[in-house]
Structure 1
Amino acid sequence: MAIEHRIRPKYKTRNEAIVARLREDAGAGAPIDPAMRIKRLTAETAIQMALLHGGDWRVQIDHEIGLVVVARRRQKRIR
């Protein structure tokens, strides 16, 4: 199957895409799910920490107890 048949457009028409871009530029975009926003922002923070300090960083989010952790992964010791 050709790749163009696998890609689904985000908007049905070009006009819808233009209106969505204008709304976003004006700061009136569609509301974002708070849980998804937290996940995206913590992932961005982990990426920035990796760029700044190096290493591999992990994200842990627990909404039940109110925990957000961005921490460097421990290096495995070779014995």
Structure 2
Amino acid sequence: MTDLASFPELLAGYFEIPIDEPGAKAVSDPYGSVRVDVGVIRQEVRSPGYLVSGLVYDVSTGLVESVVAPTQVPTG
């Protein structure tokens, strides 16, 4: 996705959002993007008992880093 950051029209189509909003998806920042995605999941998934976390995998080093600690999805 980071390679597509300079093509907002493609990203807008992919995310189905207005062309001036791809920055809100933080596509050029893997850590920010994971935080955004976890926030969306926490808002959309309302199933008690699920834990949601966010991880970033570094393809260069093979390391996985926790960006968002596991927390239970709120109900309601």
* Same fold? TM cut 0.5: no
Larger Rg: 1
Q: Between Structure 1 and Structure 2, which shows a larger proportion of helix residues?
A: 1
Instruction: Give the TM-score category using the shorter length.
Output: 0.3 to 0.5
Q: Between Structure 1 and Structure 2, which shows a larger proportion of strand residues?
A: 2
User: TM-score scaled to structure 2, two decimals?
Assistant: 0.33
Higher relative CO (CA 8 A, sep ≥ 6), structure 1 or 2? 2
